């Protein structure tokens, strides 16, 4: 596709359930980022994939959060045993080298 | 470490100017500026690489002082469409960006 695609656009789930968020980056972009944005807040870095290098997971808030990127393309962010404080918009972005990051429209996650 | 943005918010009348600052405690390789409107994804404005160059985009320009480890975004003759939250992202040698907390800009008629 032309841009970064994220799915689902909205997800409502019960506390304690696991969720998977998907990101399809722009073709050819070697870098992929996940951010979390709570209402009215900034962009909180979660994880960064660059080519075949080991991902930078330094922003993941707890071991309930994990992410993988298969074949250097699609990425999945998994949150296990969701908590109410996990409610936020999860944004994915991709880039090529030092070029600008292109953001997807995000997944709005609501934990009941 | 997250860069520090100032001010947190600014209210302008159409046609007025504003400056948003972004400073880092770490050496910078690049600075990226984005604008996010309510309910939308951040949109890229400009990128500045090492070299202290100034870039422009319409009446929005930015400077990068790598010695001082800071960048400034200049909104000149602001338009209503400039309203939104502006984020600076500072890049390290690996290309990883850390974003500031954002500066909310409101331009009124």
Distance CA B64, CA B56 (A): 12
**Cβ contacts (< 8 Å) between B55 and chain A: which residues?**
none
Count of pairs with CB atoms under 8 A, one residue in A, one in B: 54
Distance CA A35, CA A91 (A): 5
**Closest by Cβ to B100, choosing from A42, A50, A95:** A42
Contact B98 A45 (CB under 8 A): yes
**Average pLDDT of chain A?**
93
Structure letter (DSSP) for residue A56: B
- pLDDT score at B49: 82
**Cβ contacts (< 8 Å) between A55 and chain B: which residues?**
none
**Closest by Cβ to A101, choosing from B2, B32, B94:** B32
Q: Which helix (H) or strand (E) holds B10?
A: strand B9-13
Question: Phi-psi category of B101—alpha, beta or left, where left has phi over 0 and alpha has psi -120 to 50?
Answer: alpha
- pLDDT score at A6: 97
Distance of residue B79 Cα from the nearest chain A Cα, in angstroms: 23
Contact B42 A98 (CB under 8 A): no
Contact B97 A45 (CB under 8 A): yes
Q: How would you write the pLDDT of chain B (109 residues) with one tens digit per residue?
A: 789 999 999 999 999 999 999 999 888 888 999 999 988 999 999 888 876 566 666 789 998 888 888 999 999 999 999 999 999 999 887 778 889 999 999 999 9
């Amino acid at each position: 596709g032309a841009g970064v695609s994220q799915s689902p656009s909205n997800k409502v789930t019960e506390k304690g359930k696991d969720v998977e968020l998907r990101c399809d980056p722009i073709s050819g972009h070697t870098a992929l980022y996940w951010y979390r944005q709570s209402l009215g807040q900034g962009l909180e870095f979660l994880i960064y994939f660059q080519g075949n290098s080991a991902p930078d997971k330094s922003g993941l808030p707890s071991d309930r959060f994990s992410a993988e990127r298969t074949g250097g393309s699609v990425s999945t962010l998994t949150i296990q045993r969701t908590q109410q404080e996990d409610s936020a918009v999860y944004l994915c972005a991709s880039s090529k080298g030092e070029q600008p990051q292109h953001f997807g429209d995000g997944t709005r996650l609501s934990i009941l | 470490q997250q860069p520090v943005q100032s001010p947190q918010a600014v209210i302008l009348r159409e046609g007025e100017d504003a400056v948003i600052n972004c400073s880092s405690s770490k050496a910078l390789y690049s600075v990226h500026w984005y604008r996010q409107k309510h309910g939308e994804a951040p949109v890229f404005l400009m990128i500045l690489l090492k070299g202290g160059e100034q870039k422009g985009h319409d009446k929005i320009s930015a400077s990068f002082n790598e010695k001082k480890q800071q960048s400034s975004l200049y909104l000149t003759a602001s338009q209503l469409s400039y309203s939104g939250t502006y984020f600076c992202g500072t890049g390290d040698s690996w290309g990883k960006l850390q974003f500031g907390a954002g500066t909310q800009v409101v331009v009124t008629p």
